[in-house]
Structure 1
């Protein structure tokens, strides 16, 4: 059995869900094509999805193309739900990137294409909406080549653009121009083909060129472009043939040990947890015991696999398939699952394809009596979307959630009301900054020496780490110098403490070295039981670590960095002066404008905190004709007043207050 896990990706409103409906209809899975506007599509099952006409949660459907079974994953297009796309990318064999023939290449389109190329996921491009007024083809092909990839191959010609009668005609052996363009694109990445063409251009048959095209597409080197309409069906037959011919469906063996990756978690009607898993190798059966998330183990109580448009009950899920598993109560998104008696492999799900959320807000129930229920509900939402990154402030009794944008607030609010009966409100959204070390710092406190009130010796050195290196913890002490549980307690507390640096922001990249260690061995008074007042416990190390680490951070010093977005603005030329003045007030850093007779393009960087303000002001500035694209670019040091984030811990920077909370004494 050949299997292909296929993703449909696009900027919002390019027509992903409509294309999914058309593919299901063409495969005979559904009897009529659903409408996004009418809320009758297969994959948009949430009430808010149907109401807003956008995809919020990834959905999986299945259909057959000849001897290939396709598991199709319809992903969100709105930038606020990029986390859903990230999880889907980890299980894809190939992708179709949808571009609107009217709106063209947009900001999210470019972000998605860069990521697909970085992950080397074979990708076809489908230009949708050729039946709409204003549809373009030739200019759009140039835009795709300029903004997405120069290695694109148009697979046919279009006629009747902008009308319901628009058609797509695939190129074939009788189109010499197509063979020439194939040679030009393919030869850049195939020296043997170039040599053959130079010696005798007639030696390359059309079938041989199609074979080379398929090979390079499956290696993610080139990207065939189809054009059509998901609504009328124009061009979709050619796209389906291209999916079968050009994307890498493979036969999977289930003889290897079972291993899979979890890319989605949801709750069933009775509140039970359901894990969506892409099987990498082997086979899982009902009642098998699985290991995941470290040393957690659980028994699979039920399985369903995708086929013929929906998930059907099964006793097994095999390599290459996508299945739903019940019974794994502690499973999390990103977990690797294996047989409980097998060897645990390295994590199969990659992460960090996109930037993390750069906004956060406080969420609170409208009814104070719902406070406890809200915590439970948010914990369940965090299972489905770990990047909302719940942050609990026990001191102020507040809960923070991380966001990609304002639309995400509406989704969380609607979900809590519909699924849990909890009405919530939000505070004003604020920007999430980070801290980075300025230099190296070190600190040590010794057991039984003032001012250390804990039975532990801890010495730590902190050093800057490269961007995106993460937090590493290393030892300069002998591993056997004290019980491993104490060393582990220090490491875990270091990682937890670095969530809030000197100014309250996370330090995402840092090297921490343990330089000193010591403890009081287990002991007691004569003929008495164990006395923890005389013997070190893991609690001593957990309580002392924040004090030592913060002292080291203060010696090293930290700088607060704010997130910056790359922006592209297209505005009428006569409004450029006013727009530039607004950008200056918003602390944007524009490049030299590309001025045109009627419209001009401004590009540059802008603080993430100012993007929403720019979006609100742009219609008035540009008479409603401005088009803004923006996406996260990098972090840069904050200029001016340093923003401090309210701490949610017992503040180890204030030793007196910290000890009062921890020990009830100074």
Structure 2
């Protein structure tokens, strides 16, 4: 039996969870269609999801379409949970992007479509809510062509638009306008079709065009558009047929070496982890030992495979399928699992969060329990970064938005019994090197109080390249444990640069190394004062890193969002000064009928303020789209972030904290 791993994506409230319910009902998996408003949907299992009527965590459910098993993954639509969507994209064979026939193409719809296209994921479009008052047909198709893709083909017509009896009827071979439109779109992506189209359009039979449509849709070149209603079921039968005909089934050799990707991790009440894994090749069996991530390894103690609406125990999971694996204690989201070690993590498809807040327990004695709970939440969402400030006893959490903050607060209360408060969110900046820098501390030479020699050269690296570490000394020049202690400490120290912000991209090279071999007295008693330990290298390295950063110099960069703002022409004079005050830099406006289109950049820290003011400035008619663009050097006062380490910038205070002594004192 074939398998299709399908993602359902949409702007919030477009109706994707309702569509999921309708697909499951049509396939006979559920007897009654659940309601988002009533909190009775199958995939929204969290209490918070049922209360708020939004999807927060992705959910997997399966159903059959003839000889194809569809593993359907319902994903969040709110921008604050974009990381959850990101993890799903790496395991999809195809996607359905849901659009509201009433609201049309919305901001998040465009972000999702651009990402699907960039990743080459074959995508069908489903225009939902044709039964609602205000639903549109031709205007939505025009907006899809303008805002999403010109390679969109409407697969049928709608009768009774905007009424409860609205129906979707697919085009047939006798529909000449459909055949002409189909030939025109397909010719844009295939030379053979183009030649036939130019020489004799009548030679392109309906059967040939349908076959070419299926081929191009499976390649992600063309996007069929279906209309319907998840509430009434209109158009769902046509969409279900399209899943089998127009999207590619999963591929993979079950006899090849095992390889899969973890896209979700859950913890049971007893703390045991369950990893959701999409298998790309090979077969994993119960009791197999699997490598995972950079260093992990574990024994699979149980496997569940999704089938007919639920997950059931199975002895194995094969290529193309999604399985829930138990027994991999150290597994994390994004890990590659299999018989061969994968050295790199899966690439992030969305920008990292740009907001940070401090989480405070309402009862101070629960600080330890709070840290444990947040660590578990970060396992489920690795883009929720945690920073522990041991000096102040505070925990910093990075987030995408205020709604996500509310969800974290509710989750901590519901699942862990912890009540917390948050400080005001602040923007997360980064530091970039101005140039190369180097420093060294030599053992037995003032002012170095440690039995260790460490020399480092730090150089700028391209944005997005990460921290690269290399050696100019021989690997055998000192024990591997000491080498590893230096590398690990370098990476840890670079999380807070000169101004307290992370240095995400640089190349670090170890230029000097040295240690004191293990020495003992005559009675073979180990003498720490004469022998190097790992602590010597872990405590010395931050001082060397900071000296190298001082030598290189750093500049603080703030996150910038790319904005697209459509406003009535008469409000242009009121909007422009506000953009200027918020440090937005618009390009020349483009006239679109009686509206202006403005595109440009604005600091991420000012986006929320612009969103709040826009309805008043434009009488509710302004439409704003924002997405992370880049980091830009800060203009004006340089922001700094309080340090959470022992402050190796201040040598005297640092040494007092880590060794209780100062060299030469």
Correspondence for 2:407: 411
After TM superposition, list the pairs within 5 Å mapping 1:4-23 onto structure 2.
4-23=4-23
Using the alignment, how far apart are the partners of 1:147 and 1:533 within structure 2?
69
After TM superposition, list the pairs within 5 Å mapping 1:197-236 onto structure 2.
197-236=197-236
Over residues 91-118 of structure 1, what are the superposed CA-to-partner deviations in whole Å (9 max), with x where a residue is unaligned?
Answer: 1111011111121222211111111111
Using the alignment, how far apart are the partners of 1:435 and 1:217 within structure 2?
43
Tell me which moved more, 641-650 or 366-375. Answer: 366-375
- The answer as to 2:526 corresponding to 1:511 is no
Correspondence for 2:107: 107
CA contact (8 A) 2:126 2:226 kept: yes
CA contact (8 A) 2:294 2:343 kept: no
Over residues 523-543 of structure 1, what are the superposed CA-to-partner deviations in whole Å (9 max), with x where a residue is unaligned?
Answer: 233443332322222222221
Total equivalences in the alignment: 662
CA contact (8 A) 2:293 2:341 kept: no
After TM superposition, list the pairs within 5 Å mapping 1:25-424 onto structure 2.
25-250=25-250, 252-338=252-338, 342-345=339-342, 350-424=346-420
Q: 1:615 aligns with which of 611, 617, 638?
A: 611
Q: 1:658 aligns with which of 646, 654, 659?
A: 654
Over residues 396-446 of structure 1, what are the superposed CA-to-partner deviations in whole Å (9 max), with x where a residue is unaligned?
Answer: 100011110000011001111111111110000000001111111111121
Using the alignment, how far apart are the partners of 2:320 and 2:573 within structure 1?
56
CA contact (8 A) 2:6 2:73 kept: yes
CA contact (8 A) 1:444 1:458 kept: yes
Tell me which moved more, 477-486 or 66-75. Answer: 477-486
Tell me which moved more, 176-185 or 260-269. Answer: 176-185
Correspondence for 1:641: 637
Using the alignment, how far apart are the partners of 2:585 and 2:395 within structure 1?
34
After TM superposition, list the pairs within 5 Å mapping 1:442-457 onto structure 2.
442-457=438-453
Using the alignment, how far apart are the partners of 2:445 and 2:253 within structure 1?
62
CA contact (8 A) 1:107 1:631 kept: no
CA contact (8 A) 1:86 1:351 kept: no
Using the alignment, how far apart are the partners of 1:296 and 1:465 within structure 2?
29
CA contact (8 A) 2:251 2:280 kept: no
Using the alignment, how far apart are the partners of 1:200 and 1:440 within structure 2?
64
Using the alignment, how far apart are the partners of 2:508 and 2:250 within structure 1?
44
CA contact (8 A) 1:99 1:128 kept: yes
SS in 2 for 1:619: helix
SS in 1 for 2:271: coil
Tell me by how many angstroms 1:211 deviates. Answer: 1.4
SS in 1 for 2:14: coil
Q: 1:433 aligns with which of 429, 436, 441?
A: 429
Correspondence for 1:523: 519
Tell me by how many angstroms 1:596 deviates. Answer: 6.2
Q: 2:562 aligns with which of 559, 563, 566?
A: 566
Tell me which moved more, 20-29 or 571-580. Answer: 571-580
Using the alignment, how far apart are the partners of 1:512 and 1:344 within structure 2?
24
Tell me by how many angstroms 1:252 deviates. Answer: 4.8
Tell me by how many angstroms 1:595 deviates. Answer: 5.2
Using the alignment, how far apart are the partners of 1:323 and 1:360 within structure 2?
34
Q: CA 1:637 to 1:251, structure 2 compared with 1: closer, same or farther past 3 Å?
A: closer
Using the alignment, how far apart are the partners of 1:212 and 1:529 within structure 2?
80
Using the alignment, how far apart are the partners of 2:401 and 2:222 within structure 1?
33
Tell me which moved more, 171-180 or 466-475. Answer: 171-180
Tell me by how many angstroms 1:569 deviates. Answer: 3.0
TM-score by length of 1: 0.96
CA contact (8 A) 2:75 2:84 kept: yes
Q: 1:578 aligns with which of 568, 574, 578?
A: 574
Using the alignment, how far apart are the partners of 2:395 and 2:523 within structure 1?
49
CA contact (8 A) 1:2 1:252 kept: no
| Structure 2 unaligned blocks of 5 or more | none
Q: 1:461 aligns with which of 453, 457, 463?
A: 457
Correspondence for 1:482: 478
Tell me by how many angstroms 1:559 deviates. Answer: 0.8
Using the alignment, how far apart are the partners of 1:356 and 1:12 within structure 2?
20
CA contact (8 A) 1:71 1:306 kept: yes
TM-score by length of 2: 0.96
Using the alignment, how far apart are the partners of 2:397 and 2:484 within structure 1?
28
Over residues 615-648 of structure 1, what are the superposed CA-to-partner deviations in whole Å (9 max), with x where a residue is unaligned?
Answer: 2233333334433322211111111100000000
SS in 2 for 1:334: coil
Over residues 531-578 of structure 1, what are the superposed CA-to-partner deviations in whole Å (9 max), with x where a residue is unaligned?
Answer: 232222222222111111111111111111111112233344443322
SS in 2 for 1:386: coil
Using the alignment, how far apart are the partners of 1:480 and 1:277 within structure 2?
39
Over residues 2-49 of structure 1, what are the superposed CA-to-partner deviations in whole Å (9 max), with x where a residue is unaligned?
Answer: 000000011111111011111111111111211111111111111121
Tell me by how many angstroms 1:393 deviates. Answer: 0.2
Tell me by how many angstroms 1:289 deviates. Answer: 2.8
Using the alignment, how far apart are the partners of 2:465 and 2:330 within structure 1?
28
